[in-house]
Amino acid sequence: MKLHILGCHSATPRSLVFPSSQVLEVGNESLLIDAGEGMQIQLRKYKHKFNKIQHIFVSHLHGDHFYGLVGFLSTLRLIGREKEMHIYAPADLEKAIKLLFEVTKTDINYPLFFHHLESNTPEMILDTEKFTVETIPLKHRIYTNGFLVKEKTAVRKLNIDAIKQHPEIGIWAYQNLKNGKDFEKESGEIIPNHELTLPPPRPKSYAYCSDTVYKPDICTQIQDVDLLYHEATFLEKNKDLAAKTLHSTAKQAAEIAKQAQAKKLVLGHFSSRYPDENQFKIEAGEIFKNVALAKEGKSFEI
């Protein structure tokens, strides 16, 4: 897994910063998470291939999280996209996009599917051969979800040096070994799988939580997550504004990371009222040590 930040600031774009949007690479797939204004410009700038994206996840219907989506979908039509696009978002997003396409006489010439998110409890919304995506119900001024992406356990790796000690083991047996099966010789002797293979890498996980008030009950669902992106719109000195607008402070985001025993915390969704964003890292670092700040163009290996 690898996370790429396209935008990580709140409310309005500025000359050098953009609202929420990011790309998560999982194996050979690229997932687009939120689509704030200017998102496709950022995709171009950081050389992400448009046609590699097949799944888009929108947390909620505030403009700084989806205003870039209509332009992106229209561009895909212009560049001749043919494969499917799937959008996972609150139900009203489909109405909004179809209305805009109607009034602009835009015909989408590729398969476009909307998957409506309406549940207030976690639900599995995508299950592929290599990973799953489930919602993380959050609490904001409107219906909002975060997203938890988890790799599935990969097949075991062949221990070629050990296999060479047994001439009977041909290439034809490799897939069974990868799948965890023992090998039976012609004599009937069983060679245990663990003697011929190596364990696969530990599956990785990523949790995206933006926007939300401090909500510690999500910690059970995201327990032991490898990377947690959590909004930190405000500093603790403005926690009254966080409570009023149903956002979080850097300290509260760190509390979530600590309770969830996350491996690493990335802060984002910064309010423009703060000239020095390093204050967010300092404040969170007093609670949780492994903290980084999101920044346009920055990537995080998971």
Q: What is the pLDDT of residues 36-47, one digit of tens each?
A: 999 999 999 999
Instruction: Specify the pLDDT at position 208.
Output: 98
- Domain range for residue 269? 2-154+201-301
- 165, 198, 231: which is the final residue of a domain? 198
Q: With CA atoms as reference, report the closest residue to 81 among 42, 40, 115, 119.
A: 40
The amino acid at 139: K
Instruction: Specify the pLDDT at position 229.
Output: 98
Active site residues: 64
What is the enclosing helix (H) or strand (E) of 214?
Answer: none
Has residue 107 got a pLDDT over 90?
yes
Same-domain check for residues 150 and 164:
no
Has residue 249 got a pLDDT over 90?
yes
Same-domain check for residues 190 and 51:
no
Please state the rounded mean pLDDT for residues 109-137. Answer: 97
Has residue 14 got a pLDDT over 90?
no
Scanning the structure block, which residue is given the tokens 């799937």? 86
DSSP 3-state of 10: coil
Same-domain check for residues 52 and 173:
no
Q: DSSP string spanning 33-83?
A: EEE-TTHHHHHHHTT--GGGEEEEE----SGGGTTTHHHHHHHHHHTT--S
Q: For residue range 63-96, list pLDDT tens digits in order.
A: 999 999 999 999 999 999 999 999 999 999 999 9
Same-domain check for residues 22 and 102:
yes
Please state the rounded mean pLDDT for residues 47-55. Answer: 96
DSSP 3-state of 260: helix
Residue 131: pLDDT band with limits 50, 70, 90: very high
DSSP 3-state of 89: strand
Q: DSSP string spanning 86-119?
A: EEEEETHHHHHHHHHHHHTTPPP-S-EEEEEE--
Same-domain check for residues 71 and 96:
yes
- 198, 231, 265: which is the final residue of a domain? 198
The enclosing domain of 91 has a CATH number of 3.60.15.10
The amino acid at 98: K
Please state the rounded mean pLDDT for residues 236-259. Answer: 98
Same-domain check for residues 129 and 177:
no
The tally of domains found in the chain comes to 2
Instruction: Specify the pLDDT at position 292.
Output: 98
Contacts 24+ apart (CB under 8 A), 237-241: 238/273
Same-domain check for residues 217 and 291:
yes
How far apart, in Å, are the Cα atoms of 293 and each of 89, 107, 217, 226, 234?
26, 40, 24, 16, 13
Instruction: Specify the pLDDT at position 16.
Output: 87
Same-domain check for residues 19 and 129:
yes
Instruction: Specify the pLDDT at position 13.
Output: 80
- 143, 167, 198: which is the final residue of a domain? 198
Residue 11: pLDDT band with limits 50, 70, 90: confident
Same-domain check for residues 29 and 96:
yes
Tokens of 97: 């996009």
Instruction: Specify the pLDDT at position 12.
Output: 79
Same-domain check for residues 19 and 74:
yes
Same-domain check for residues 118 and 130:
yes
Same-domain check for residues 216 and 99:
yes
Has residue 209 got a pLDDT over 90?
yes
Has residue 264 got a pLDDT over 90?
yes
- For the chain, the 3-state helix, strand and coil shares in percent, each to the nearest 5, are 25, 30, 45
Tokens of 235: 């500093």
Instruction: Specify the pLDDT at position 109.
Output: 92
Full-model pTM: 0.92
Residue 302: pLDDT band with limits 50, 70, 90: very high
Residue 171: pLDDT band with limits 50, 70, 90: very high
Tokens of 44: 């171009």
Rounded CA-CA distance 86/115 in Å is 7
